[in-house]
Structure 1
Amino acid sequence: MNEERLGMLMQEAFELHTSGEIQKAEALLLEALAENELPMIRVALAQLRLTSGNPQGVLELIAPLLHEDDFVVTMMAARAYLELDKTSEAGRQLDKLVRIVDRIIPATREGLRGMKREYPGVVLNLVGSLGQHRRVLELYKRWAQCKSDWVVRHYVAVACFNLRRYKQAASHWSAIGEMPHALGMQHVAVLAERGTVPPFPLEYALPNPEMISELLNSATVDVDEKGVQMGILRMVLLEMALDEDVDDELRENALAPLVRGGGDWGAALGVGLLESSVIRKPVKLAVTKLLVEAGFFPEETPIPVMLDGEMTSVVIHREEKKKEPESVSEDMLQDMLCRIEEHFRIDVEQKTLPVTADLARGLKNMPAAWLEAICELYGIRPKRLRKDREKQIVNHLTTRGGLYGVVQRLSEDEKELLGYVLDKGGWVRLSSVATKFGSMEGDGFYWLEKKPEGTLARLWCHGLVMVGSAKINKRGVTFVMVPVDLQERLEQLLHGFVPEGSVIAEDVLRETAAAMAEETRLSEVFQFRVELEGTHPPVWRSLLVPESFTFWELHVAIQDAFGWEDRHRHMFYGSGLADRGKVKIGMPDEALFAESGEVLAGWEVQVGPYFSREGMQMNYLYDFADNWLHIVTLEKKRPAQEGLAYPQCSGGEQMCPPEGCGGNYGYRKLLGKGEIVPGSFNPQEVIFSDAQKRLKEVLQIR
């Protein structure tokens, strides 16, 4: 099997796996393994079996590879042994993983790079899953360079919680802004420190909505009989119950499986909540009813309760008793999660917002995760601080070039809604929009994990409209508005929609080019090493480009520096496996992976946010037939040199292979036959093209 066919087969198996056709994917990989005994095929097949619940099959596949110090292979072995409940064998593989991480953590300030950044979190997850909570803390201290990784911080918080070091757990969760439910977990840890919430074990898992939904689906149907045994579900239900804005019905539904179905732990939780001085009265009233219904207290008996700072008693009378409780099923719990998401989003809708607000003001009402979702949507690598993320979004949407590209990709219903609000003077009541275009019911809250489907919610997630509340004519009104600093330009783009040869189109290009030129004069210079993967001797270039460069400009610079002819499609995408399905940058009508959504326009996305630290990498793929993969690595940042025009090529070796030669396989074949000889490369001979002129040609704007 030649390289090209093998690559196609592996890609087909990957697509089948992601679409849920596991058996077909496994059959393809077994076919490939029968023809080519390659470790990469064994690893891919083992990963497939691990995710489909076949740990014994995993061990059989990777047995020939276990003698090597390969992190991925060893990690799969440890997980497989854990699933088979062979803890001693899992422990031995885990010790090997720790030694691997100990070796690869560099002594530099930058820490781990690429996929290796994920290694410490993977190891801590496995260590914690074996119940070795103290070892999690020891490794955290040893691997000091990983303390900024929020996944690592979460697992450390879980270890502290399981060791009943609740203050430390709360401190770690308070420092995590990227993870859903982090603040709720912090609240529960504080209550556990006070003795209000009794101890319970917490799993080493990341509490994203998909994971919680999966746990709910696997939970026992009769929750009241066995209680909520999974710690992560206890956390989420407590978060719901203790939210002061939750309605009484939802609060009681969240408390019911905890108190009424939690056995002795549920009774202890109920009593703890009643005796706490920080728990609000509505929670306590719901708990007293549930304790009576569960038989922990007889009817007509005074129940001690702390109210308004004083111990008093509450009596549940017979006529107040509810009908016999029904079992709380997974469907009911799922419904609670959906309702709490709706509640969280409605809270955002009801925040005060002037009808004349600009974009910066509107973004301040948005949750931090929504800002990250907008950044992801536009291909912006989000800054760490919230205020910096807001500035990134404002900068992207208030340049006409950025806004032009956004409007180009809107659906017809999104354009219609946007035009409707603009025609009404820039704002309109939410009820009117819901009547005409549909409500946001069912669009949830966790937009970073799952993008909304409703037209209005999609526009809100783009940052093109805002939803808020204000006093209008002395009455509270919830409304939809377009930020005032976007209104004029959006009207131009929507009504003219930049037809070919239009003045607006030329204006967009001029304004974008001028903005880029200004940023180029002020920005740092990035020194990239771009190496053509798989070439021997290696073909590489050293490029100096402004931080403000777009990916389109970087694409043109790479083409010129290598000597490619730019006759084929191209794509930038993440270098780590976790990134492959997230961000792809190139031409908007192209897709590198069949299952993987939208491709961002390279001329709208700046390079700088994706290379925040030295050593960071991305992949650049040119010619989807020959598959020329370039690894783009940020070597260093340095101040721009006055009077020097960028980009610059400062070094490199070997001329690039000929176009259309069949990729690395064909190139090596030509070298082996002596039909071509690698030519020497002189960086001073590189002539860089005008990226904006080439963009104009590509977009066919005359």
Structure 2
Amino acid sequence: MDNNNMRRLEEKGRECLEGGDYGKAVKIFNKALAVQENHVIRNNLAMAHYQTGDYDTCLRSLQLNLADGAILNPYAHSLACLALVKSGQLRDARIQLEKAIKEMDEGTRALACAGKPPPSWNEYAVIVLRAAGALQDHRLVFKLYNKWRNRQSNWENAYFGGVAAFNLKKYRQAAGCWTSIAPVWRPFMAMQRVAVLADRGDIPHFTLEYDHFNQDKIMKMAADAVDDPVKMRQMISDSTVRLFYLTIILEEEMDLKLRNLFLSYIIKYGGEWGSRLGQDWLLSPAINDELKIAAAMTLVETGVIPPGEPVTMYIDNQQREVYMRGYVLSPATGAKMVRVYQEAINLAGDGEIKEAIRLLEGPLLEEGTVYPPAMILLVRLYHNQGVERKKRQLIDMLESISENVDDLKLHSEMANMYLDIDEIERAMKHAAVIKSKCPPAESKELDKRLSEQLARIYMEHEIDAYSDFVIQEYRRKVEDKRLAISPGLAQGIKNMPAGWLSAACQSYSLAPARLRKDRERQITALLQEEENLQIIIQGLDPAGRELLRYLLQREGWSRINTLTRKFGSMDDDGFFWEYEPPGSTLGQLWLRCLIFIGRVQINGRNTKIAAVPVELRPALSRLLG
């Protein structure tokens, strides 16, 4: 058999190995080895046996590659380590790992003398790290990753380095490893957020395996286990499954119902760890309110939170008590409540508000009955009577229901309810939900209904609401402009409205030039002098300096949603900054042209970021260091 035929045979075997057809791969590799011995083909043969779970045959296949005097082969020693761990022979596995590391270093030095080691050699580091991980030697994995990472291009090295750092509770280093490979695969960015939340104490520690999660395999496991609590508990105890579920839960563009479902699985079947995660999330400003409601409802369902008792939660940007119940929506409940609801409407219509309230409170608050029309009516009656605490309690219940049922009519009724009680932002939130979920065939009718609801917002309830809404939209259009991830002063300033440039000049006690281009020059010239920057930094409040440090420690930029969670939003900053400067930390820095905000393509997504101008980064790093 000539070399070309051998090469084709090897490639075919490798394709079978990578495609999961291990039996066929074994046959092809054995056929090739019968013609000619080759240490690479022998490694691949052993890996095919390993993948089938035949660890003894895997070790027998490696004997020639492991023999004294054989060619340097860190791959073979690492694979032997993996097979020995699976067989419970940990002492022998450690010996093979030590040989793999020794040969990796010796081979690298020898190849370096003849030039740069080839990528194929450097990629052996992946299986060495995996072998060290199989022995649960997290410190060694992290040490080897740092030792070898400058010459590694394979993303798996950074993945395993992140796993080791996470297991050592070095969460920030784990986040850094996974962020570095986020362009390779989108879930790595969600894993980065898992590490950040663990660093904040929002995710209880758990030990990760040195294995990649197979999405299809996990989803099949979930489908098989969904009606079996024992299987569900076994599945959620698997750290790889936990990590996969957390990446889905924290991915904001995933379907909310799926995220809530996976969160309920983690809390319900994750034992003490899952229960603690659910309780920690209730108080975390970093977790969105919809997930907190789902967590609270699952904690009620599992008995951790008693039904009807107040729960302290960080919700609506404040810490307060929220009332949760276990809900059952049934036709029988509806039939019973229709009569009560109609009677309450009649009483309220006759001016007997307190009697209507008493009639509804019994089934809704004391018995825990769920009937959204009656609950919405009671909210309106409480608002009429100024009963704030009970109104909040009922609104919390309605919000938790609306998050867990697909009922466009309920969202519409809640939008109208919020209009009636002057909670404009909540009304618009529910209107947006209707628009996003309504089928296309209903869009005309929907647009008409939404227009009517928005007209009520603008014209009937708060005369300033329309202008406030438009002002926010003006500013959001500026925020949505294209920006480089490392913007220059020229680009960032050019994105700013003319009025903002005048405001920037005023903030620096500069008399604004008449022409825009001259105002741009004034600001650019001022900021490029380090002495001026030192004075400017001294005049910032502590939050402003901290935000700049935060960005500079992260290559000069960050996603805007991360910054708003940590430093506050720009929601109330308006648009006409020359008359009323922004009050938020982000807005104040943007006004001074110390940061710019805009959208950039990251992993194919149009992402809003804040970034320090590239010309200012060296000087600001020195001044803030």
Tell me which protein shows more helix as a share of its residues. 2
Tell me which protein shows more strand as a share of its residues. 1
Q: Which has the higher contact order (CA 8 A, sep 6+)?
A: 1
Task: State the TM-score, normalized to the length of structure 2.
Answer: 0.46
